[in-house]
């Protein structure tokens, strides 16, 4: 289906060049949208009052028969049973499969913002502070992997995103003014978050709907598309400067441990309507930004309002 989007649409997740979206003008209506081809794939109605209480992810493009859509109810993570919903676009079912799994010890999904699908092992991951939540869509199992030396939690505003690169898990903690990156070390069958000083030539593109680690000409930089973090920029002297900076990602260098500004011509400017947060999307191979296979969804000239 080819279409344009109403302004009531919100992005929930981005993966494989597609967006998982919610039309808030239509109760519990979810759909996939490809901003490059303008295709739309509708999902079954999600039976819950507040979709904002559910964290979503999907494994690959909905045109792939192996696609799995995953949703976890935030409040259930802190209880004795976790509520998980799944749906397969290539399957025969027209309804969500909602299941409850035993939760060995309650955690807090507030500790991390996003859900990660790892293409190497086919599992969904969530960083839950003292543990790593793991859902296996094939075996339909939920497990909590204890993490030794858990990352300290900030009382005011904990902001963490989980990502992967070549099968390894990384966590970006931007709770303080100086963000920190950790790598999950599974040596000797024990899981430990180890602090990384640099990213060995890679960079991480961070947003609530996607967190992608990749390599390009610029390395060891964290690109944040988040309104809270963008507010950390120095106060602009002019309104034009304010608008210009708000519509660019916040770039933090792990080498200098400081904000790094773009050179003229490095990054294009665009002005989304009434938008504070964006999302990174993986484009076709003939589109890129400074050799990175990633760009903001807004740059595809879609009217997506979050």
pLDDT of 301 strictly over 50: no
- pTM over the 0.95 mark: no
User: What's the pLDDT at 306?
Assistant: 31
> Pick the residue with more confidence: 229 or 67?
67
User: What's the pLDDT at 305?
Assistant: 30
Rounded to an integer, the average pLDDT of 203-218 is 85
Residue 187 belongs to a domain? no
> Pick the residue with more confidence: 203 or 75?
203
Residue 300 belongs to a domain? yes
Residue 28 belongs to a domain? no
Residue 259 belongs to a domain? yes
pLDDT tens digits, residue range 112-125? 678 999 999 999 99
Q: What is the mean pLDDT of the chain?
A: 79
179, 222 contact by CB (below 8 A) = yes
pLDDT tens digits, residue range 114-160? 899 999 999 999 988 778 889 999 999 999 888 876 666 655 677 88
pLDDT confidence band for 82 (50 / 70 / 90) = confident
pLDDT confidence band for 289 (50 / 70 / 90) = very low
pLDDT confidence band for 217 (50 / 70 / 90) = low
CA torsion, ordered 98, 79, 160, 272, to nearest 10 deg: 50
Residue 113 belongs to a domain? no
- Containing structural domain, residue 237: 197-306
- Tally of domains in the chain: 1
- Evaluated on CA atoms 87, 93, 94, 95, the torsion sign reads negative
Helices (H), the chain: 227-230, 239-246
212, 280 contact by CB (below 8 A) = yes
pLDDT tens digits, residue range 264-276? 433 433 334 444 4
225, 278 contact by CB (below 8 A) = yes
240, 261 contact by CB (below 8 A) = no
C-alpha distances (whole Å) from 151 to each of 14, 128, 220, 263 are 26, 10, 21, 34
Residue 202 belongs to a domain? yes
Residue 64 belongs to a domain? no
Distance CA 98, CA 76 (A): 13
pLDDT tens digits, residue range 39-50? 899 999 887 666
The percent of residues in the chain predicted with pLDDT above 70, rounded, is: 72
The percent of residues in the chain predicted with pLDDT above 90, rounded, is: 35
pLDDT of 56 strictly over 90: yes
DSSP class per residue in 132-149: EEEEETTTTEEEEEEEES
Number of CB atoms found within 10 A of residue 69's CB: 23
Residue 296 belongs to a domain? yes
In this structure, what are the phi and psi dihedrals at residue 246, rounded to the nearest 5 degrees? -65, -25
User: What's the pLDDT at 111?
Assistant: 62
Distance CA 173, CA 179 (A): 6
């Amino acid at each position: 289906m080819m279409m344009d989007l109403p302004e009531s649409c919100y992005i929930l997740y981005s993966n494989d060049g597609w967006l998982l979206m919610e039309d808030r003008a239509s109760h519990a209506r979810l759909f996939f949208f490809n901003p490059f081809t303008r295709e739309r794939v509708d999902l079954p109605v999600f039976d819950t009052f507040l979709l904002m209480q559910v964290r979503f992810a999907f494994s690959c493009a909905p045109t792939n028969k192996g696609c799995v859509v995953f949703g976890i109810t935030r409040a259930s993570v802190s209880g004795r049973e976790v509520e998980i919903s799944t749906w397969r676009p290539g399957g025969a079912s027209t309804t969500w499969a909602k299941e409850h799994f035993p939760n060995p010890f309650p955690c807090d999904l507030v500790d991390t913002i996003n859900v990660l699908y790892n293409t190497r092992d086919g599992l969904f991951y969530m960083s839950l502070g003292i543990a790593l939540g793991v859902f296996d869509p094939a075996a339909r199992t939920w497990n909590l992997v204890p993490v030794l030396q858990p990352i300290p939690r900030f009382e005011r505003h904990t902001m963490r995103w989980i990502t992967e690169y070549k099968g390894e898990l990384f966590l970006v903690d931007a709770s303080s003014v100086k963000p920190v990156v950790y790598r999950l070390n599974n040596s000797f069958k024990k899981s430990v978050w180890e602090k990384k000083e640099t990213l060995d030539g890679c960079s991480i593109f961070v947003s609530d709907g996607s967190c992608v680690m990749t390599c390009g000409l610029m390395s060891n930089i964290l690109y944040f598309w988040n309104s809270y973090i963008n507010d950390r920029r120095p106060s602009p002297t002019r309104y034009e400067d304010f608008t210009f900076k708000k519509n660019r990602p916040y770039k933090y260098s792990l080498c200098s441990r400081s904000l790094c500004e773009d050179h003229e011509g490095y990054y294009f400017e665009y002005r989304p309507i009434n938008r504070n947060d964006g999302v990174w999307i993986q484009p076709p191979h003939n589109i890129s930004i400074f050799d990175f296979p990633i760009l903001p969804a807004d740059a595809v000239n879609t009217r997506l309002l979050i």
